[in-house]
Structure formats: structure tokens, C-alpha cells
Amino acid sequence: MIDDGDLRQEFLLEAQQLVTDTEQCFLTLETEPDNPSILERIFRLAHNLKGSAQAVGFAQLAEFSHKFESFLLKLKKKELAITPSVVNVLLACNDRIGVIIQALSTDFSAQVPIDDVMEMIVIASQPPSEVQEASLEPQKEVIAKFSFAAEKVDVPKAAHSPDESIRVSVARVERLLNFVGELVILQTVLNEQSSETEHIGLRKTVHQIGKVTEEVQEISMSLRMVPLKQTFQKLQRIVRDTSSLLGKKIEFEMHGEDTELDKSVLESLGDPLVHLVRNAVDHGVESNALRLERGKPEIGHIALRAFHHGGKLVIEIEDDGAGLDANKLIKKAIEKNILPPGSELSERDAYDLIFASGFSTKTEVTDVSGRGVGMDVVKTNIERLQGDVRIDTALGIGTTFRVTLPLTLAIVDGMVIRLQNHRFVIPISHVHESIRPNPKDIHVVSGLGEIFDLRGENIPMYRLDSLLGIKRKAIQDHDGIVIVVRTRVQPFCIFVDDILGQQQIVIKRLGAELQLLEGFSGSAILGDGRPALILELSDIIPKSKVLKTNDMKGCA
Amino acid sequence: MQENSHNIRYLSFSLGNEEYAIPLLVVKEVIAIPEVTPIPFTPNYFLGLMNLRGQVISVLDLRTKLGIKPSTSAENAVIICDLDPISLGVIVDSINSVVSPDENELSGRPDTQNAKASEYITNIYRKNEKLILIINLAKALSIDDYKAISGSEKAKEAA
Amino acid sequence: MKNASLKTKMIMTYGLLALFSAITGIGQLYSMKQVASRYIFITEDSMPKSMAISQMQGVFRRARGYQNLIIANGLSNEERDLNNKELRASMDEFERYSKEYLSYPLHGKEKSDLADINEYWINFKDSVNETLDAYSKHASQTALSDIVLKKSQVIDRKFNQKILNILDEENAEAKGLIEDAKNLVTNTEIFIIISIIFGSLSAQLVGYFFSKSLTKKLDTVVQGLSRSADGLAVAAQDAAKNGETLSQGSTEQAAALQETVASLDEVSAMVMKNADNAKNSRGFSDKSNESVVKGKQVVDSMIQAIDEINSSNNEIVHQMELSNQEIESIVNIISEIGNKTKIINDIVFQTKLLSFNASVEAARAGEHGKGFAVVAEEVGNLASMSGNASREISDMLRNSIAKVEQTVAETKSRVQGIVVLGREKVATGTETARLCGQVFDEIVFQVGKVAVMVGEIAVASSEQSQGVEQISQAMNQLDGVTHQNARASNESAISADKLAGQAVELRTLVKHLMTTVRGEGYDAGVPERILDQRSDAKLNKPQEKHHLASVVPIHQKFAQKKEVPEQSFREVVGGGSVPAENDPRFEDI
């Protein structure tokens, strides 16, 4: 069934192309009405459309295509003369097909009124000998009707100039991006070199090339962007399947499925979203009986929303279920030895407990969820995508998971740090703050290592050189920089030599030979053309001191 | 891709005083020694990362890996190899030539005590009194053996 | 103090002594007065009081006796009346003594004691009156004796006791005072003895010190005087001796004068010869001067020639340096070529890599790439060949650079050696020529000097003859002077004699003074010596006179000979102009 959707999507893309092609042919036909090859071509295209539409189950489109085809057949058999009016009808039909396709691509079950156009075809199909005069009138009327109808069906503007697209392999885009990255680096080098020259013309040209390069980079980045639609449809299916399995009646609502996202991000996002949606169906929405008991509508409601916000992509999964009970969560956490007895947490921290490893609020294990693994992986995965997940909940009213993601994984804002003569990149999303330490704020606690006193808060501190096993001469505490990281439940900080700057970096995945290397999420090419490793700080600090999280590889 | 199987072409190169060769099809390109960024927690023959026209590639020193004393000369070069699915840069002392030995010039793997060496040497090519060892680069670099890296990882954890 | 005059010292010392005696005298006077006051007190107070008390005791005892007699039996009335009268008288007497005692100043217990006594006295008087009363009333014997014996006895005992006490006290007081006075006397005695001893000792010391210093000073004066007298005597002796020597000298002078005149003849002849030689010398020196000037000119031209050699030598060095620079620039060009060869090597390396890459691409292209593979290999071969060629070029360049550098270094060192040698030689030549010129300069200077000196000799010779004449004149004058000298020496002998007499007188005076200062029998050796000398002077006197007598004939002899030297002198000079007597040159020559 899922493949069905994919097929339809693919069909629709193809159909868009077909419609554009036919339109061109109709226009040619008007000028060369006697060219049989054109008519032949149009006929073949229409036939194709009919066949494909029937195959993927778009009945209305198939029906309309059929009518259109038979009309074309008449023209082909020269039963009808090719007159401008006929061409008008043809174009109207063609446009309507475009409208249908457009409508179908947003909703597979969309219905577009076609009767008016059908009528036009019927009128146009009448032999020309019959009341020429009379035919003119309804034709005008039909055109007027058509315009009206077009407005009524709320046809998007794009329908008139359908997107042309070509299928390009990701590898090629990847290569293009590599070269664009190189181009950007060379551009910075060129900028530096040209700033020394006296040649004003050259400098101007270099500046212009810089503009163009930026544009090229932006466009190449956008090549990786794909709409969320496919993923969302998959989720819709999961909601239906899961709810029927659990015997819950749930209404599913989707918004913003056209929102675009980097393909690599989207690929990694699938599993976490499935988890969250399943969780919403299983844990979030109560059984129908319980809902009635609680005075809620019998049918549960789950909404999936995607939108851009502040240069980030936000995906919300909202349910109108029972909500989270902070006290219950804490109690549970203490029972499961995740929290030491007597711990007190803020509500938000308490909600975050569901992301802790080995935490499941459901007592009985079901097929769907409750295995105690999942939510922690969700958080880890999203963080690996440089993203964040937040929970908003109200007891008895519902829960919203808000996943914030960068638009692309290929480019992140990175902080370039220095350790002796080594350079590393830390994603800025991981850095909570960076400060030059006062040496008296650094305390050595036996058994715990170094502790940094950040305005009264004691945070374990690690020196990057010892974490990475780099031998070097120790620098003075006040010469270094402390970077505070709060992506984990327990914050920690890293002592580095210096911060060299912040810049957008294009992430390059490490080769397979380095896949087992922990602590680095990839590499990036810095301004001088040399590669630098991107630090995954939470992976290099000693595990014993922070709450354990399962490795991504540990679960499907 | 219809290769004349009787005449496979090899790229021969020097490591110390010895001459080695790898199938030309493994080679993507050869370049002069680039600047590399060292990678922590890697074995000593991992020299670091290089930027090959926007692509980040690990550079390994085959001489260190095989325990051959490296010679420093201007001829030092890096062979970019395509060991599907990995692309690697391999530093050699100098690249000599492309050879296409006749089948009668090739002899099989030598029967030596050194099991490790015999593992990666596939053939021996005798050319004008000179021996060229044809090797399997993937095996020579123990590409399948990522334990080397995770081993150092464990060492780090222990430390 | 040390610098103070003797007078001041004496006044101060005696003043101190006087002050000391005055203080001791005052002290003694005071103690004497103390002693006297004690005695006066004893005599004027204690003794009269004791006496009065003793009197009072005696009178009381008497009165008691008379009282007892009252009651005695067998007395006639006359006797009884007498007894009563006596009783009354003694009672009056007691009153008198008591009043006398009171007239003395009373102190301490004396007043109360006296009051007691008076009380006892009144009691006694009462008892007497009672007795008399009773008797007159013809009281019984027992009653009377009862009154007299019992009452009066009690009073009597008390009274006696008191009187004894008073006497004891008075005695004790007197005794203390006496003891006190005695002590005072003893102390004063000790004090006086100490002051006597100290006074005499200090007087002795002062006297000794002053006499010593005075004697010492006087001694110095006397010794000075005796030394002066001594000196005077010696001087007188010397004067006498001198007189003798002088007369002797005068005689010798006359003889010498004669000899001088003879020498003058010889001198004249010599001077003549000298003048001739001087004339000849001038001619020679003129000639040598000429040849020296010529020699100098030759040396100068030689120096110039050497300088030219030097400059051309430098030119050679300069040229050499220039050519070295040229060679160096060639070396630079060669090394530049070497650098370029490195670039070629680099390009060859890159080409080689390129050919390999081309081979790789060709291999990927499979069958289609075969032709291309051949081309790539050819390119690789060419690259290898050009690599070899460039390596050879590099080697050759390295060799040629080494060779050129070696050649340059060798040439440089050789030329430098030659140049240095040439420079050294030129320097030696220049130095020699310079020294030569210097020598010539010196010769010119010396020859000039010789000419001048020869001229001067000529002038001097004429002046010498003039001088000889002057000498003759001086001889004449000298004769007169010699005569005068003889007379003067005689006179000085006489005055020396007088001086000796004065010295004797002085000695006597000194001796007298010494006796005064050092006392009788003190005789120093110095005055004796003076005496001896004086006798010597006296002995010398006649000899002196003898000398003076012999002077005269020599003097006369000289006067006779005087004419001769004058004539010969005139001959020597040849009547040439004689410089005036006051000519400054005269003295010079």
C-alpha cells in the first residue's frame, strides 16, 4: 500500500510533464492543423495518461482522459475539423487535467468538477454542419463557466506553469556540492589575494564572482531539498494501521507536507518521527471508552505539522491524549534507578525523563511500544541531526512533541576551536556558552577530576587534549577557553586553547575506514582548504559521568 | 569493460628499496603529497585527512603499515585508491611506471613463513632481474580490520 | 697649660698651694673652735652647776646635822641658840646656792630635778620648822626624834638620792662633752698631720718640677750659648786660617799670572791657524751642499716612481676584483639555472603523475583507452627521460659551479698573494726612499749648519784675539786686586783675633751662668774646648803675619812682568778691531 502512494506520486510527476508536453503540441496544432504527426503525438500522450491513471487508481482522471482521448480520436479521424474553437476546447481540457493532477498531488481522493468541460467536448464533437450559430453561444458560456470554475476549485498558480523536474542521482548532487564547497573555499582565497592587488577592475570582478558563487552555493544546497510529503504520508498510514491494531478511533491531520528539508536529514528523520507518532497513538491518546469517561470526544485526534521557523524546520506531533504527569515520571524514574531517590526536578526536566534510557511508563509490553527502548534513541537521533526535541504537555488535555531541525545537515554553523596546532569544529547548536575561565573557578576534585564553577554551578570539566590523547605542553588556565555543553541532562564543559571563529561549514562524512572512530561526527574543509574534524563532544567525554545513552547502532 | 585478462596493467611504485605494484584499476589518481590533518585515536599509519577537490579522504602510509623504513625524497606521492566503498590516499616513496606483465612473467604467491606478508602479496612479477611484488592493497592495509581503530578507542577509554 | 709661660705656671701652682693651706687652716680653726666651745660649756655650765649642787648637798647635810642637834640632849641654851642660828644660816646658804643654780641656763631634766629638789627642800624646811616648833613646845624626846628621824630621814634619803642623780647626770654630760672634745682634738690632729704631709709633699713636688724645668731650660740656653761661643771660637780660628790661606793664595796667584801670560802667546798662534782653517772649511761645505741637494732631487724622483708602481698595482687588484665579480655573477646565473632546473624537476614529477593518471583513465576506458594508454605511457617515458636529463643538468651545474668557485678561489688567492707581495715590496721601497730623502735632508741641514759654524769660528777667532788683549788688561787689574787681597787678609786676621777675645769673654759669661744654674762644681766639656780653640787662634796669629810679608814681593814681581804679555797680545790680534769691554759677546766667548 505504501508503494501505491509512491507510484501515484511518481505518476503525478509524470503526468505533470505530459500535460506540459501536450499543451505545447496543441499550440503547434493550431498553426499547423494539417500536420498529422502532431495529432498522433497528442493522441499517444492522452492515451498514456488514461492508462497510467487507471493503473494507479485515479478514476476521475482516467474517466476524463478517456473522454478527452475519444474527442482527440474524432479529430484524428478527421471527423472534426481543427478549428480555433476546437483548439480552445482542447486547451481547456488540458488545463483541467493539470488542475486534476495538481489537486491529486495534494489529495489522492480529490474530486475536481469536470462536467462543464465534458459539456464543451460534447458540443465541440457535434458536426460543424449543425447549427454553427448555436454552437458559438454555449462555447463562450462554457469558457466563462470554465474561468469561474477554475477560480472555484482554487487552482494554485503553479498549475499554469507546472514544475519541470529532472531526476538526478544524489551522488551527482553530492559531487556538485563537493565542488561548490571547493569553489567557496577558493573564492575566499581569491578574495584574500585580490585584496592585496591594486587592480580595481580585478577586485570588482572577484567581488562579482563572489556573489555568483554564493548564489551557486545556495542553489546547489537547495538541490538536496525535498518535500516532507512522502514521509508524512507514511506516517498517516502508520497512524491508521496502529490505531486499528489498538482498536482506537483516531483522526489524523497533516499540515505543511510541502515543507522542504535536506534529503539526508529527512532520511534520518523517518525513524524518530515514526516512533513519536506511534507513541502518540499508543501512549498519548486514551482508549475510546476512557475518553468518553473523561468527557472527551470519542475519536482521538493527532495532528502532524511542519513549518519553517527562524531558519529551522519545526515538526510538531500533537495529540489530545492524557498528557504527561511529572510526578508519576519522577516516581517511575526513581523506581528504575534512573534518578537517585529523593530527586527533585523541574516539570520540563521531568518530561525529559521519558527520553532517558530504559524508561517506559507503560507497565505491559505491547507490540507497538513499551519496550523501554525508543524514546532515548529518538532524542539521540534528532541530536545527531543537530536538532532538538521538546515536550509541551498538559495533564488530561494532550501532549505536543516539537522537533526542531536544521534545514540541512550539509551545512551547519560551526565553531572552529584550536588545540595547540590542531583545529576542530564544534556545532554551535551544541555550545551553550563559551567563556574565558578565571583559574580560581577551576577545582580539582579527587575521583571526579576537574570541576568548573560556572557562576555557582559546578560542572565537570574535561581538557580536550587529554580527551583526545594529544600530548602537549599545558597552557595556563586563564589562556584557554571553557566551552559549556548542555545537550545532555547533565551539563559538562570542555577546556580548549582558543576559539578561532564561527563559520558555516559543509559537513563531509568520514570514510568507512573511520566509521568506528567515536567522537567525530564528520569532517569539514576550513577556509584554508585543509580538513578539520567535527567533534561530537558528548561522545568523547567519559561515559561514567553522564547519563548513559544507548548508541544509535544498538537499535533499529 | 572488456579487459584483456592476459594483460592486466599494474602501477608499480617503490617502498624503501622494494618495488610493489597494484592493479591500475584500483587507482583513481596519483597526486603529490598534500597537507593532512591528523586524526586522534588512529594507528600511526593513519596520517590524517586530506582535501581532494572538496572530498575529504584519509591518507595512510603504506610504508609504516608494512614496516618499511620510509625515504624522504621529492618523488613521494599519494595514490588515491578506490577500494570499494572506501577511497583512500596511500603514501609511497615514488611511483615508477605502469607495467603490463605477460602471464609467463608472473609467478604465484611465494611460500614463505611470513603468513602476514603472504596474505597480501598476490603475485610476483620478474622483470629484467627485478622483482615487483603485486599486492592486494585492501589486505595490505587491513581494510576489513577496523579493530585497529576501535582498539585505540578502547585504549583511550582505558586512559 | 703646656704652652703657658713659666710665670703663669708658677702663679697657678702656688695659688693652688695657698688655697689648699687656707682651706686646711679654716678646717683646723673650726675644729679648734668646736673644742673650745665644749670646754667653755664644761667650765661655764656643767662645772658651776655641779659645784652649786655639791654646795647645796653640803649645806643640806650641814642643816641636817643642825636639825639633829636640836633634839640632842645635854646642850646648853647657848649652844642650842647657836645651833639654831647655824641652822638658819645654813638654810639661807642653801637658798643662795639654789638661786645660783637657777641662774644658769637649765635644760633637759635639770628643771624638773630642781623642782623636785625644791619640793624636798620645802619639806625639809617644814620638818625643821616642825622640829623647832615641837622643841619650843617642849615636846617629848620621842616625839621629836620621831619627827627628826622619821620624817627628815625620809626627806633626807630622797633629797640625797636626787642630788646624786643630778650630779651623775651633770658628770655624765661633762664626761660626754669632754669625750667629744677629745675626739675632736684627735681628729684635728690627724687632719693637721695629713695636711702637713700633703703640703710638704706637694711643695716638694712643685719645687722639684719647677727647678727641673727651669734648670732644663736654662741648661738649653747655656748649652746654646756655649755652642755659640764654641762656634765663635771656631769661626775666629777659621778667620785666622782664611787669612793665612788668602795670603798664600795671593802668592800663588801671582805665579799663575806669569804662566797665563806665556799661554796667551800660544793661544794667539792657535787662533790664527783656526781662522785659516775656517776659511778653507767654508769652501768645502759649500761644495758638499750642492751635491747633497742633487742627491735629494734624485731620491724625490725615485719616490714618485715607486708611487706610480703602487697605483698601478692597485689598479691590478681592482681589475682582479672586477673580474671576480663577473665570475660571481656567472656563478649566480648558474645557480639560477639550478633553481630553474628544480622547477623543471617539479614539472617532470607532475608530468609523471599526470601520465600515471592518464594511464589510470585509459585503463578505466578499457578497450577504448588502449591507444590512449600507449600515449600516456609515452608521456610518462618522456617525463622520466626529461627527469633524467634535468637530473644530469643539475649534476653538471653543480660540478661547474664547484669548478668555477674553485677556480675563482684559486685565482683570487694567487693574485692576492702576488699583489700583497708587490705591495709589501713597494712599501719597503717607498720606506727606504723616504728614509734616504730624510737622510739627505738631514745632511743638507747639517752641511748648512757646518757652514754657519765655520763662519762663526772665523768670527770667534777674531774675537778670541780681542779677548786675549782683554785678558792682558784684566791681568793688570788682577795684580792690583791681588795686592788689595793681601791687605784685606791681614785686616781679617786682626779682626779674627778680636773675635777670639770676644769669644773668651762669652765663654766666661756662660761658665758663670752655668755655675748659677747648675750649682758649684758643675763643669761641662764645651767651655774647655772653646779655650783650646782660642789658644790655637792665638798661636796662628804670628804665622798669618809671616804670610802677609811674603805676598808683597810676588806682587812686585808681577808688576814688572806686566808689560810683556800686553805687547804679545797686540801682535796676536794684529791690530784688528777690539770689541769694547762691555760688548756682550765678550762674555759669551
Give residue C134's domain range. 6-204
Task: State whether C349 and B98 contact (CB < 8 Å).
Answer: no
Which residue has better confidence, A362 or A174? A174
Distance between CA A527 and CA A509 in Å, rounded?
18
- Domain of residue B82, CATH code: 2.40.50.180
C387 belongs to a structural domain: yes
Q: Are C169 and C262 contained in the same domain?
A: no
pLDDT, position A316: 92
At C181-220, the pLDDT tens digits run: 888 888 888 888 888 888 888 888 888 887 787 778 777 8
* pLDDT at residue C407 greater than cutoff 50: yes
Q: Are C197 and C237 contained in the same domain?
A: no
Tell me whether chains B and A touch (3+ CB pairs under 8 A): yes
Residue type, position B56, single letter: V
Q: Which residue of A has its CA nearest to B42?
A: A517
Mean pLDDT of C477-504: 75
Give B41's contacts in chain A (Cβ within 8 Å).
468-469, 517-519
Tell me whether chains C and B touch (3+ CB pairs under 8 A): yes
B1 belongs to a structural domain: no
Mean pLDDT of A363-376: 52
- The model's confidence at residue A101, banded by pLDDT at 50, 70 and 90, is confident
At A379-432, the pLDDT tens digits run: 888 887 878 888 888 888 889 999 988 776 667 778 999 988 889 999 888 888
Mean pLDDT of A265-286: 85
Q: Are C499 and C380 contained in the same domain?
A: yes
Instruction: Look up cell 761641662; give the residue.
Output: C524
Instruction: Considering only the beta carbons, identify the residue of C345, C353, C377 that sits closest to B32.
Output: C353
Mean pLDDT of C460-474: 75
Among A252-256, A500-504, C269-273, C556-560, name the one with the lowest average pLDDT. C556-560
Mean pLDDT of C354-370: 83
Element (H, E) at B99: strand B94-99
- The model's confidence at residue B113, banded by pLDDT at 50, 70 and 90, is low
Please say which residue of C170, C204, C238 terminates a domain: C204
Mean pLDDT of C261-287: 74
At C437-451, the pLDDT tens digits run: 788 778 878 777 777
* pLDDT at residue A1 greater than cutoff 50: no
Shortest CA distance to B75 belongs to which of C362, C351, A530? Answer: C351
Distance between CA A269 and CA A228 in Å, rounded?
10
* pLDDT at residue C550 greater than cutoff 70: no
Distance between CA C557 and CA A30 in Å, rounded?
189
Q: Are C376 and C516 contained in the same domain?
A: yes
Q: How far off is chain B from A475, nearest CA to CA, in Å?
A: 20
> For residues C67 and C126, is the Cβ–Cβ distance under 8 A?
no
**Is domain A411-554 classified as CATH 1.20.1560.10?**
no
Q: Per the structure, how many domains does chain B have?
A: 1
Residue B146: how many other CB atoms lie within 10 Å = 16
Mean pLDDT of A532-547: 71
At C90-101, the pLDDT tens digits run: 888 888 888 887
B152 belongs to a structural domain: yes
> For residues A500 and A483, is the Cβ–Cβ distance under 8 A?
no
3-state secondary structure of A122: helix
Distance between CA A444 and CA A495 in Å, rounded?
14
> For residues A324 and A351, is the Cβ–Cβ distance under 8 A?
yes
Question: From the candidates C346, C353, C378, C385, which should be mutated to test the interface with B, based on the most B CB atoms within 10 A?
Answer: C353
Mean pLDDT of C131-151: 74
Q: What's the mean pLDDT when you consider all of chain C?
A: 75
* pLDDT at residue B3 greater than cutoff 70: no
At A337-357, the pLDDT tens digits run: 777 777 777 777 888 888 877
B5 belongs to a structural domain: no
Task: State whether B153 and A508 contact (CB < 8 Å).
Answer: no
Q: What angle do CA C26, C29, C30 make, to 5 degrees?
A: 85
pLDDT, position A130: 45
The most confident of A316-320, A527-531, C25-29, C383-387, by mean pLDDT: A316-320
Among A481-495, C231-245, C410-424, name the one with the lowest average pLDDT. C231-245
Task: State whether C376 and B30 contact (CB < 8 Å).
Answer: no
pLDDT, position A162: 56
Give B50's contacts in chain A (Cβ within 8 Å).
531
DSSP A163: P
- The percent of residues in chain A predicted with pLDDT above 70, rounded, is 85
The pairing of beta strand A481-485 with beta strand A442-445:
unpaired
Q: Are C85 and C176 contained in the same domain?
A: yes
Give B57's contacts in chain A (Cβ within 8 Å).
511
Instruction: Considering only the beta carbons, identify the residue of B1, B31, B95 that sits closest to C366.
Output: B1
Task: State whether C367 and B25 contact (CB < 8 Å).
Answer: no
Instruction: Considering only the beta carbons, identify the residue of B24, B32, B75 that sits closest to C359.
Output: B24
pLDDT, position B144: 65
Task: State whether B37 and A531 contact (CB < 8 Å).
Answer: yes
Give B8's contacts in chain C (Cβ within 8 Å).
none
Task: State whether B37 and A178 contact (CB < 8 Å).
Answer: no
pLDDT, position B145: 62
Cα-based distances in Å from A414 to A424, A429, B55, C32: 9, 8, 19, 129
Q: Are C96 and C244 contained in the same domain?
A: no
pLDDT, position A295: 85
Q: Are C400 and C492 contained in the same domain?
A: yes
Mean pLDDT of A450-479: 84
Mean pLDDT of C10-38: 84
Phi, psi torsion values for C402, nearest 5 degrees: -60, -45
Residue type, position A426, single letter: I
Task: State whether C373 and B29 contact (CB < 8 Å).
Answer: no
SS3 assignment for B70-84? CCCCCCCEEEEEEEC
pLDDT, position A294: 86
Kindly give, in sequence order, each residue whose CB lies less than 8 Å from that of residue B146, ignoring residues fewer than 6 positions away.
Answer: A513, A515, A516
B112 belongs to a structural domain: yes
Mean pLDDT of B26-39: 89
Give C376's contacts in chain B (Cβ within 8 Å).
98
Task: State whether B58 and A511 contact (CB < 8 Å).
Answer: yes
CATH for A226-406? 3.30.565.10
Cα-based distances in Å from A306 to A267, A389, A405, B34, C117: 16, 14, 11, 45, 155
Give CB contacts under 8 A, 24+ apart, made by C198-204: C198/C20, C199/C17, C199/C20, C199/C21, C199/C24, C202/C17, C202/C20, C203/C17
Q: How far off is chain A from B37, nearest CA to CA, in Å?
A: 6
B24 part of contact set with chain C, CB < 8 Å: yes
Q: How far off is chain C from B19, nearest CA to CA, in Å?
A: 16
Among A7-16, B75-84, C196-205, name the one with the lowest average pLDDT. A7-16
Q: Are C270 and C318 contained in the same domain?
A: yes
B29 part of contact set with chain C, CB < 8 Å: yes
Chains that touch C (3 or more CB pairs under 8 A): B
Give B87's contacts in chain A (Cβ within 8 Å).
511
A58, A63, A64, A68: CA torsion to nearest 10: 130
What ipTM score was computed for the predicted complex, to two decimals? 0.79
Q: Counting Cβ atoms within 10 Å, is residue C555 exposed (0-12), middle (13-18) or buried (19+)?
A: buried
C57 belongs to a structural domain: yes
Give A523's contacts in chain B (Cβ within 8 Å).
37, 49, 56
End-to-end CA distance of chain A: 22
Which residue has better confidence, B115 or C239? C239
Domain borders along chain A are 2-160, 170-223, 226-406, 411-554
Element (H, E) at C317: helix C153-365
B4 belongs to a structural domain: no
Which residue has better confidence, A323 or C576? A323
Instruction: Considering only the beta carbons, identify the residue of B50, B53, B87 that sits closest to A531.
Output: B50
Task: State whether A533 and B37 contact (CB < 8 Å).
Answer: yes
Give residue B82's domain range. 10-158
Please say which residue of C204, C238, C261 terminates a domain: C204
Task: State whether B56 and A423 contact (CB < 8 Å).
Answer: no
Shortest CA distance to A72 belongs to which of A33, A105, A43? Answer: A43
Tell me whether chains C and A touch (3+ CB pairs under 8 A): no
Q: What share of chain A is helix, strand, coil (3-state, %, to 5)?
A: 50, 20, 30
- The model's confidence at residue A361, banded by pLDDT at 50, 70 and 90, is low
* pLDDT at residue C415 greater than cutoff 50: yes
- What kind of fold does domain A2-160 have according to CATH? Four Helix Bundle (Hemerythrin (Met), subunit A) (1.20.120)
Q: How far off is chain C from B148, nearest CA to CA, in Å?
A: 31
Q: Counting Cβ atoms within 10 Å, is residue B37 exposed (0-12), middle (13-18) or buried (19+)?
A: buried
* pLDDT at residue B32 greater than cutoff 50: yes
Q: How many CB pairs under 8 A join B and C?
A: 48
Q: What angle do CA C431, C434, C440 make, to 5 degrees?
A: 145
Interface of A with B (CB under 8 A): 177-182, 185, 422-423, 468-470, 508, 510-520, 523, 525, 529-533, 542
Q: Are C126 and C167 contained in the same domain?
A: yes
DSSP A436: P
Q: What's the mean pLDDT when you consider all of chain A?
A: 77
Q: Per the structure, how many domains does chain C have?
A: 2
pLDDT, position A539: 77
Q: Which residue of A has its CA nearest to B50?
A: A531
Question: From the candidates A513, A544, A551, which should be mutated to test the interface with B, based on the most B CB atoms within 10 A?
Answer: A513
* pLDDT at residue A74 greater than cutoff 50: yes
Q: How many CB pairs under 8 A join A and B?
A: 82
pLDDT, position A212: 92
Q: Are C237 and C198 contained in the same domain?
A: no
Distance between CA C419 and CA C317 in Å, rounded?
7
